[in-house]
Each structure stands twice: as structure tokens, then as C-alpha cells.
Amino acid sequence: MSTATASILRRALLYVPSSSPKFLEKSRSLTVDTICYDLEDSVTPSQKPTARTNILSFLSSTHPRPPNITELSVRINAVSSGLALEDLTTILPATHLDAIVVPKVNKASDLHFVTDIIRHTLPERHNDSNNKNPLKILALIESAEAITNLNEICRASPFLSGLIFAAEDFALDLSLTRTPSLTEFLYARSAIATSARAHGLPSTIDLVCTSFRGEEGLSVLQEECLQGKGLGFNGKQCIHPSQVEIAQRTFAPGEKEVEWAVRVVVGDEKADIKGRGAWTLDGKMIDVPVVGKAKATVEKARLCGMGVDAIREKW
Ligand code: 1VU
């Protein structure tokens, strides 16, 4: 397994506009799997140069790494915008930088461009096969063209570590109107989750929920997270700190789910000794794919820091 495809938790990816010193400072106090400091849509054209220098300084060694953020990423401007080269050459020397988010990836050559610049700018981090810490790339899928090119996009870079779905740009491209049911995005979301899986990419991060205030807004978010999880996504893009806890909780396995998974794994060890490939738990048949799913749930629960060993001791 390459470093880009190793298991990594990205249950929530929170955008922070890099043009705002206030938001940058606030991000330091947050607990979240991935922060994405933005140079694209949340930054006006006239603010781009300031945003670039802000983020380079914020992610430099003179500032300590924010303690409760697992992954620090920057979203550059689209390759087709003509701004990506300057974004990359400015930010790549940053000390605390784990991933680059590339928007509007339509074809493999968009990722070839970014990969070549990363290799050229940081050769010591990327050309040594013993180096276990290359930058990772996350690709935003936002158009019909991108959906038809998913296979080539997934194969385009050894640094590619996940796909993200951008609903608003996709709706613009197809002249769709976003509805609460999100059925208009069903094909695109399923295609993304399936392609990423087929190519062994660990992360599939679902559309932004634009509601972020109050009980009603956050219950819309919760529903969207559950629906995305049901389609095979394992994370959610967030635009406000209020969304992070719900996304991270929903994209972690639930307590009952973990307990069931541990019982299946323990039961399978016993069934194996008795030479039984199929057996029964709570009146339902358990066989190889069910055990596989249970093992994956246990592994995810461990990654999320849930008390798997304590549950195992009970069974
Ligand atoms: O309580 P404090 O005053 O200390 O902090 C405020 C506020 O500063 C902070 N906060 C954030 N901090 C970091 N990152 C954020 N994204 C962020 N948003 C807010 O939280 C405290 C409460 O803030 P608030 O409720 O007063 O929120 P505002 O009205 O200030 O801001 C709301 C918006 C939605 C404008 C803001 O959250 C924001 O700009 N979010 C990011 C938008 C963005 O990046 N959009 C592009 C990415 S989405 C995309 O492209 C889809 C593919």
C-alpha cells in the first residue's frame, strides 16, 4: 500500500478562507481531521496575493503546528485558472503542509501538472522511495467531464489520496437545481464513491451542507451525512466549525455498530476453530463478506480512537 492510499481519517474537511487572519487564528483552536486553507472560491481575486502570503506564514515553522488538527491542507486555484503555478510555488515550502486540494479536476493532465510541480519543488520529499511522508493530493470533482474521466483521474498521480464532490459547481455545469433530497446528484456521487474504491483511494468526501446554524440547520447536516455514508462516502466538507462535530461523529462507526462488529470478529474466530464458514448471530447468517465488513468496522473504530479492546473483553 502506498502512503497516499494508506488508511487515513478525513471524516470532516473544514474550509478556512486564507484571506482572513481571524479565521486562520480561530482554526488553531479547532479539533478536526482535516483543515483546508482556501485560496480558491472563498478568496476574491484582489485578495489572492495576500491570502498566499498569509497561509505560507501561518504554516511556517515559526508558528507551532495546530495541536488538534490531523491534516493541514491548502486548496489552490484550478489549473485552468492560470493561478495554480503561483499558488504552488508560494505555499509548497511551508513546513506544516500535508496535502494539496486541487479544484475543478477535469482530466488526468490537471493532476499531472500539480504532481510535476510538487516533485520539482520538493525533490527531497518526493523522489526518495524511502520517504514515508510525501504530500498528498485530494481532487475536487465538479463537472460532467470529470465524472466521465474518473478512471483516468484516479490513476493520474501516485500522490492522489481521495476524491471530493463539489455539488454547486456540478449543478452549474449541468444546469441542475439542488433539492433537499439531493437525488439530482445520485449518479455523480455513486460514481465518485465507486471509482475511488476501485482505485484504492482511501477518502471520498461528500458535498457541502450550506446549513450550519441552529437545530434545524444541523439536523439537515446530520441527514446529509447519513445519506453520504450510505452511498459510500467516508467524510464531509464543512464550511463552519459548528458542522465538524456532527460530521466526525456520523462518519465514525456508531457504538452499536462497533459492538456488533466485535461480536462478529470474536464469533468468527470460534467458528473457524469448529471449521464453520457460515454461522448464526442474533438469528442472522454470518459468512465471509459479513466478517470482512465487521473487520473493516473494527479497524475504522480503532482509527477513530474508540475503545475496541474494552468491548472485546466483554465477549
Ligand atoms: O467565535 P469567534 O468570533 O472566535 O469565531 C467565529 C468565526 O470567526 C469562526 N468561524 C470560522 N473559523 C474558521 N474557519 C471557518 N470557516 C469559520 N467560520 C466561522 O467561528 C466563530 C463563529 O462564526 P460565525 O457563526 O459568526 O460565522 P460567520 O458569520 O463569521 O461566517 C459564516 C461563513 C459561512 C461566512 C464562514 O463560516 C465562512 O466563510 N466559511 C467558509 C466558506 C468557504 O470557505 N467557502 C468555500 C468552500 S466551499 C466549496 O468550495 C465547496 C466545494
User: pLDDT in tens for each of the 315 residues of the chain?
Assistant: 555 656 799 999 999 999 999 999 999 999 999 999 999 999 999 999 999 999 999 999 888 899 999 999 999 999 999 999 999 999 999 999 999 999 999 999 999 999 999 999 988 888 766 566 889 999 999 999 999 999 999 999 999 999 999 999 999 999 999 999 999 999 999 999 999 999 999 999 999 999 999 999 999 999 999 999 999 999 999 999 999 999 999 999 999 999 999 999 999 999 999 999 999 999 999 999 999 999 999 999 999 999 888 888 877
For 258, the 3-state DSSP assignment is helix
What pLDDT sits at residue 309?
A: 87
284-286/279-281 β-pairing:
antiparallel
Cell numbers found for residue 237: 466538507
> Which is the closest atom of ligand 1 to the Cα of 169?
52
User: Ligand 1 site: residues with CB under 6 angstroms?
Assistant: 15-17, 22-23, 26-27, 38, 41-42, 166, 208, 237, 239-241
Residue 7 makes CB contacts below 8 A (sequence gap 6+) with 202, 299, 303
Nearest CA to ligand 1 atom 41: 239
Q: Are 166 and 103 in contact (CB under 8 A)?
A: yes
Per-residue DSSP letters for 205-225?
A: EEPPP---SHHHHHHHHHHHH
Q: Are 158 and 135 in contact (CB under 8 A)?
A: no
CA–CA distance, 91 with 114 (Å, rounded to integer): 13
CA of 84 to the centre of ligand 1 (A): 24
ipTM of the complex: 0.98
- The model carries a pTM of 0.94
Which residues partner with 281 through β-bridges?
284
Q: Up-side HSE of residue 120: CA atoms within 13 Å toward CB?
A: 9
Mutate to test the pocket of ligand 1, among 18, 23, 192 (most ligand atoms within 8 A of CB): 23
CA of 169 to the centre of ligand 1 (A): 20
Among 240, 262, 251, residue whose Cα is nearest residue 308: 262
> Which is the closest atom of ligand 1 to the Cα of 41?
46
Nearest CA to ligand 1 atom 2: 26
- H-type alpha helices, 69-198: 84-91, 108-121, 123-126, 144-148, 150-154, 167-173, 186-198
Cell numbers found for residue 4: 497516499
Nearest CA to ligand 1 atom 29: 240
Rg value, the chain, Cα: 21
CA of 260 to the centre of ligand 1 (A): 38
Nearest CA to ligand 1 atom 33: 240
| Helix/strand/coil percentages in the chain, nearest 5 | 50, 15, 35
What pLDDT sits at residue 228?
A: 98
CA of 209 to the centre of ligand 1 (A): 13
What pLDDT sits at residue 304?
A: 92
Nearest CA to ligand 1 atom 5: 26
